[in-house]
Structure 1
Amino acid sequence: MDNLQRRLYDKKSFYNYVKTCFPKEKDLIEEYVEYLGEEAELDPDECNRMEAFMKAVFDRKVALVSVDLEFSMKKSTRVTEVGVSVYDPWSQKGSLLPFVQSSHIIVRENQPFKDNTYVPDHTDFFNGGKSVVMSLHHAAHALNLIIEQNTMDGNPRGSGVALVGHGMDHDLLLLRDMGVDFGVASIMDTQDVLAYTHGARNASLKNALRLARIPFAFLHNAGNDAYYTLLLSLALADPVYRLSSGLDSEDSKDRFASQKSTRNEPPNTSSKVHLKNATKFLGPSFNQLLYQDKYKDLHYVNSIWEGELRDAYSRKIRAPHILQEINKVYDEQMVLISIDVEAFERDHSVVTEVGIAVYEPKSSRGMVMPFIQSGHIVIAGTEDVRNGTFVADHKDFFNGGKTLTMDLHSAAQAIKDLISKHTRKGTRYGTGVCLVGHGIGQDVKWLKHIGVSIGSARILDTQKLLCMTHGKKGSSLKNGLKLVRQPCAFLHNAGNDAYYTMVLCLCLADPLYRVAAAVDGKQTIETYKQQPSTKHDPPNEATRVDASTSAEFFKYLEQSF
């Protein structure tokens, strides 16, 4: 893999990136697929299909429309749910995080036919918030309009559109029966793409997401499946993400090949492992070679452009004071470490969980999908110390998979080692590290309580960042994620909170994302300020809204709340 990194970053794609403010990854992809053909002994035809898939996504000229259908187990032609997620790259070239519009339709006339004989019934657990109830006819009409709206002007229907799914054959048949016209849209099946490199022809979405290290929750909800499948497609198409996550390493392939069927697994409980060193659990650091001395001048030019964009946007939304905060996210001499600490609700001196998420701006340059390392630690001896009266008890529901059990001393030492690992060489402990948190003041106090000094590390509080533009009322993490339209599940699990806080940080710091998601729209801000406290919200149940027309569906699609 090290040899591949050198091959990729010796290319001149960064020059194109500087010129156009986003990467032309074609040469990187050709190198990557060539590597797969040589080292992984990929079939030439599969190499060609893999290259076509990766280029289609990285051209940023194809709108990805991910569709998932849930149907009755007793009659597989009876559609009960439709999930749709749309990624339109036109307004997001160069953004830190892809903005994905996700939606969930419950088919009105088929609601009585949902069953959980073979798969869990997660109809009411859409991570994106509101589910819309409408007839199958209107759902099909809405899908046709989405394809029409994303078709390139003056071209045949479906031009510039790729339909994305995981194991799509049956869904495509049902969509055609519903009257959905794909036109000339291309088909991207992530199950097939994964099979090219990892062999498993019928890999479940759950195992695929584990392989790509994408946290998830409540699969077998059509809205969630469509959303996570789209994220998976971005990860599989991104050579830098694949390298960062170790997706194509021999160890990952061996573990993936040994995965069992996920059909009878519980919906979202995380497994537990006992380790003494959390930094090993978080995985190897990816050393980005893109920023060698020969690129320094070009990189400087591009940094000036991005800096001007952030400055202009902060003035446009009349919040110049946020500039200093969001610039921390773009500082390539900085590593962002999100930390969340959970304590016993009846005795705050008892720390029960620690969540960690790591994002490296330098190694994430130009990625269509950022790689965020995430981990969850449960303090040994507190397994039976449970919340649930004032905050939800989600200790056992880490969306990232495995949870560590560590004694308090080892956990504290692991956090200190993580900060030391990312401290800039030759500087004081913590220099070059930015700690990210949502209401981070209390977390820093808890870290100090367990013996963790943050040294010279800088602080970025997403709650304060949110308050700068949208006011103090309702500034919970859950409301913040609703605002930026990021699906979430099982908050008040420290690992999940750390991960989602990092996601919120990237969204709020990115002018391109804020524009795409209409974060600073007048109506959005007014609605946000009216949001009630989320303290007593149920853990993840989605609310339902009724729709009788496609117009009502599109209105629902555009709303954050």
Structure 2
Amino acid sequence: MPPKEYLQLHTVLYEWSKECPMDLKKDLSLFFNSQAFLDRKDTFFRGLHDRKWVALITKAGVDETRATLGDLFNYHFLDLYVTPLSLSQISAAPRMPSGAAYNKFIKDLTRDNKVIKAQARVVNWKRNLDRATDMVVNAPGVLQDASTSSSSGSGVSQPRWFISVDVESFERDHSKILEIGWSIWDSGSNLFVDKHYAVSDYRHLKNGRFVPDRRDRFMFGTTIWEPLEKCISAFQQDLDTATAQNMKGEYVLIAHDLASDETYLQKMGVQFPKNMVPFDTIELNCARIGDSNAKVGLGKLLDSLDIENYCLHNAGKVIFVLDIWLIVFSPLVALANG
């Protein structure tokens, strides 16, 4: 017996529904949800195609259905040809005696595909975690004693700079930026720069209904109030200074929910070094746990790592984000140091 040939079921239903005359569409839809169409042995299958589960119908089933439709509707539907599918797994679909059973079959495929996507995300994030680990452990200066700086004969010429940044916006209009905070760690000298800028243009705007307003609670220095343009310029100047001091080195951008902060910074026109490598601590934590659904807010993550924290709705929380980065990898650094 020759091997079965398959077509994707949704393609068959789509093509025939598209060509069907308007006066027959309702009846065709009813037929596709009927037991006569769905409850047929050795006709419907599920297959893994390009790492995604799809509903399949055999070519014999397509030909049989086309003949039935011709008799029922006195209309000759398009003869569909098999396009080769790369199927790594194939299994029979469950019995589908009704439209409800078919809907459950499709819902189960959707659920299984979500699981596959989640697993793929974890695999990708674990690669990022491995890369992040390598970048910390092998950063010039990290494997030396913390009290030894690059200026004291260590021989380190191109350290890595680790930059964490956070942007806080007005809860009722996220286009209005209220704060920018950043923390920069030079691995070669083991020195940190922590800054917090509050935007004077919007001093009159207060959060509080949905998130607390903590602009006046920077715990690691003095908050500087400036117009937005000067706040952006101050951050850009620190980036440019880092670039000038480390022309051939690498830069690591770290944030908790990186996409959100990147969007703000791009709109502000901030220019990052071309060799900047971005990491999201949400994703790295999921990789560490091995669960793509383990996304947690900054507070819960800090608590789980026993990092004491305060005033997380202040943009100065980037210091805590950098702490996460260092604490997650500190056992690895300690191990590498022997």
TM-score when scaled to structure 2? 0.54
5+ residue gaps, structure 2, are 1-119, 140-158
Contact 2:128 2:279 in 1 (8 A): no
Q: Does 1:163 align with 2:256?
A: no
CA distance in 2, matches of 1:197, 1:88: 25
Tell me, what secondary structure is at the counterpart of 1:129? coil
Q: Which amino acid in 2 is paired with 1:85?
A: S
Cα distance per residue 1:410-447 (max 9 Å; x no partner): xxxxxxxxxxxxxxxxxxxxxxxxxxxxxxxxxxxxxx
Structure whose residues are more often strand by fraction: 2
Tell me, what secondary structure is at the counterpart of 1:83? strand
Cα 1:197–1:220 shift into 2, 3 Å:
same
Other-structure match for 2:301: 208
- After superposition, residues 56-455 of structure 1 pair within 5 angstroms as 56-60=135-139, 61-92=159-190, 99-151=191-243, 155=247, 160-184=250-274, 185-198=276-289, 199=291, 200-223=293-316, 225-240=317-332, 366=337
Cα 1:171–1:136 shift into 2, 3 Å:
same
Q: Which amino acid in 2 is paired with 1:62?
A: R
Cα 1:74–1:57 shift into 2, 3 Å:
same
Tell me, what secondary structure is at the counterpart of 1:90? coil
Give the superposition deviation at 1:109: 0.2
CA distance in 2, matches of 1:150, 1:183: 9
- After superposition, residues 538-553 of structure 1 pair within 5 angstroms as none
CA distance in 1, matches of 2:180, 2:125: 30
CA distance in 1, matches of 2:282, 2:123: 18
Cα 1:62–1:111 shift into 2, 3 Å:
same
CA distance in 2, matches of 1:160, 1:210: 30
Contact 1:80 1:110 in 2 (8 A): yes
Contact 1:150 1:160 in 2 (8 A): no
Give the superposition deviation at 1:116: 1.0
CA distance in 2, matches of 1:208, 1:83: 19
CA distance in 1, matches of 2:269, 2:286: 30
Cα 1:196–1:134 shift into 2, 3 Å:
same
Give the superposition deviation at 1:205: 0.5
Please provide the CA RMSD for this pair. Answer: 2.7
Contact 1:151 1:160 in 2 (8 A): no
Q: Which amino acid in 1 is paired with 2:320?
A: Y
Q: How many residues align?
A: 198
Other-structure match for 2:133: 54
CA distance in 2, matches of 1:222, 1:123: 8
Contact 2:125 2:286 in 1 (8 A): no
CA distance in 2, matches of 1:174, 1:168: 10
CA distance in 2, matches of 1:178, 1:68: 13
Give the superposition deviation at 1:100: 2.7
Cα 1:227–1:120 shift into 2, 3 Å:
same
- After superposition, residues 29-44 of structure 1 pair within 5 angstroms as 43-44=122-123
Give the superposition deviation at 1:163: 1.4
Contact 2:122 2:286 in 1 (8 A): no
> Where has structure 1 moved over 4 Å in runs of 4 or more?
41-44, 152-156
Aligned-residue sequence identity (percent) comes to 22
CA distance in 2, matches of 1:116, 1:147: 32
Pick the structure with greater CA Rg.
2
Tell me, what secondary structure is at the counterpart of 2:203? helix
CA distance in 2, matches of 1:138, 1:152: 20
CA distance in 2, matches of 1:129, 1:227: 11
CA distance in 2, matches of 1:240, 1:154: 25
Q: Which amino acid in 1 is paired with 2:271?
A: D
Tell me, what secondary structure is at the counterpart of 1:226? helix
Contact 1:84 1:227 in 2 (8 A): yes
Give the superposition deviation at 1:48: 1.9
Contact 1:42 1:197 in 2 (8 A): no
Tell me, what secondary structure is at the counterpart of 2:173? coil
Contact 2:126 2:284 in 1 (8 A): no
Q: Which amino acid in 2 is paired with 1:231?
A: D
- After superposition, residues 490-505 of structure 1 pair within 5 angstroms as none
CA distance in 2, matches of 1:143, 1:102: 11
5+ residue gaps, structure 1, are 1-40, 93-98, 242-287, 291-364, 368-561
CA distance in 2, matches of 1:56, 1:108: 37
Tell me, what secondary structure is at the counterpart of 1:80? strand
Contact 1:69 1:222 in 2 (8 A): yes
Cα 1:42–1:155 shift into 2, 3 Å:
same
Q: Which amino acid in 2 is paired with 1:72?
A: F
CA distance in 2, matches of 1:84, 1:121: 18
Cα distance per residue 1:478-523 (max 9 Å; x no partner): xxxxxxxxxxxxxxxxxxxxxxxxxxxxxxxxxxxxxxxxxxxxxx
